[in-house]
Amino acid sequence: MDEDVTIGALVKLVKGDPFQMLAIIRILVILSLYPLLTAKWVQAWGAKGHVMQGRVAARALPADMPLFFRAATERLAYLIPEPDRWRGEAWGGLKGARIELTNATAANHNVRLEVIGNTPFPLTRYQFIALALERGWIRRDDANLHQVGAVFYAMVEEVQRLTVQFRLWREAQEAPTLDPAALQQIQENAIFSAGVLGHWITDASQPLHTTVHSDDWDPHYPNPKNYQSKQIHGRFETAYVEQRMTEADISGRLSPLRLLEDWRSEAETHIRRAFSHFETVYSLDQRGTFGTGNEPVEAHGFTADRLAEGASMLRDAWYSAWRKSEQELLETPVLYRGSKGKTVLDLLTSLRRVELGQDVGKPVIAIGDRRNGQQGRSWQLFVNGKPGDKAPDRYVTGEFDVIEWRFVPD
């Protein structure tokens, strides 16, 4: 903004026009946030690795993602390190600041595959905790799930949450008049969820987040190559990445876009791929200590590949959540309660954009963009759980009626 254009001058320009004043206020808020959105984050890949992966993933999204999401690149990049900001010193233990929050989320950052082995992940996080107690992976007197890790569940749970937010956004477009506040909140929720998901996915692409040898080589396991690395975790993911890696190193290594079909299978494959590389981190460090500037030449390509795997998986997860939300919407009924004296159709048209056919009874042929014939589906009316036996414009409801429109396969 030109320094001569002061806030006072802007106020005079828009005096008497509240809509222009509101627009100016929004611009000023955005400008005030610009330094924050473009700053280099210095928190604990380390924060730089997370931010670069998020930015590269967002810029690689296809054009059929919603505009609000594609325009949120810097916000997404800022949010990728968000879960690291929640933690206290306890790191899953029972002492220190924010014990409850830290303990609840610490396990989401990692998994120790040597502990789990080839045991299939149970269906839910709570079944996994029960299994960990049963197998002795964690102790009942110190139930610290970080000792075994739950990043698998963090990824699967959050991508499902993001899919819901995208579905809600699609559903909001069906309203006869958009609700700006609700739509904005749905968009905020989707961006936040996508950022948190990004942390779990990019953490799981860091090989040292998948092993018991997360920082030093665990003395309970054989060490035939005599790895002596100390504090390797931070030196690799923070010091080395800060010094040597750029976004161009990552973006040039992205894999082709994929539609992820099975969240669980994809999450486990992602984790086990990273695990297959953890010893290489130790081997490279043994040849030239990470963070000192003496790393072997191969360290650069190896690290860039790991960062790119995380960014690729993140882009694919965001895109797949968006695509799956479309299918989820098709399977989501339009549900509302009756109102004394109002017809089924009266109430429906107050809630959704509706298109009626020209046949007798004016059947509903589209609600929002869900139109009869789409994927072999059509709209069917149910009242109190039973198929409707009257045309919707003739079905007068009562206040206790439950109206449901299902978009069902023909």
pLDDT digits (tens, 9 = 90+) for 40-75: 333 347 899 999 999 999 999 999 999 999 999 999
Tokens of 120: 């299939």
Confidence (pTM): 0.86
Q: How confident is the model at residue 269 (pLDDT cuts 50, 70, 90)?
A: very high
- Give the chain's mean pLDDT: 89
Q: How confident is the model at residue 93 (pLDDT cuts 50, 70, 90)?
A: low
pLDDT of residue 139: 87
**Among the listed residues 371, 344, 374, the one whose alpha carbon sits nearest the alpha carbon of residue 355:** 371
Q: How confident is the model at residue 238 (pLDDT cuts 50, 70, 90)?
A: very high
Q: How far apart are CA 84 and CA 80, in angstroms?
A: 9
| Span 355-375, average pLDDT | 92
Q: Which residues contact 361 (CB under 8 A, 6 or more apart)?
A: 391, 392, 393, 394
Q: How confident is the model at residue 12 (pLDDT cuts 50, 70, 90)?
A: very low
pLDDT more than 70, % of the chain = 88
Domain with CATH 1.10.575.10 in the chain: 41-330
pLDDT of residue 87: 81
| Span 188-216, average pLDDT | 97
Burial class (CB in 10 A: 0-12, 13-18, 19+), 407: buried
At residue 376, what are phi and psi to the nearest 5 degrees?
70, 30
For domain 41-330, the CATH superfamily is P1 Nuclease (1.10.575.10)
Domain with CATH 2.170.130.30 in the chain: 334-409
pLDDT more than 90, % of the chain = 79
334-409, CATH topology level:
Ferric Hydroxamate Uptake Protein; Chain A, domain 1 (2.170.130)
pLDDT of residue 192: 98
pLDDT of residue 77: 97
Residue 21 in this model has a pLDDT that exceeds 90: no
Q: How confident is the model at residue 8 (pLDDT cuts 50, 70, 90)?
A: very low
Q: What is the pLDDT of residues 309-364, one digit of tens each?
A: 999 999 999 999 999 999 999 999 999 999 999 999 999 999 999 999 987 778 99
Q: How confident is the model at residue 91 (pLDDT cuts 50, 70, 90)?
A: low
Q: How confident is the model at residue 232 (pLDDT cuts 50, 70, 90)?
A: very high
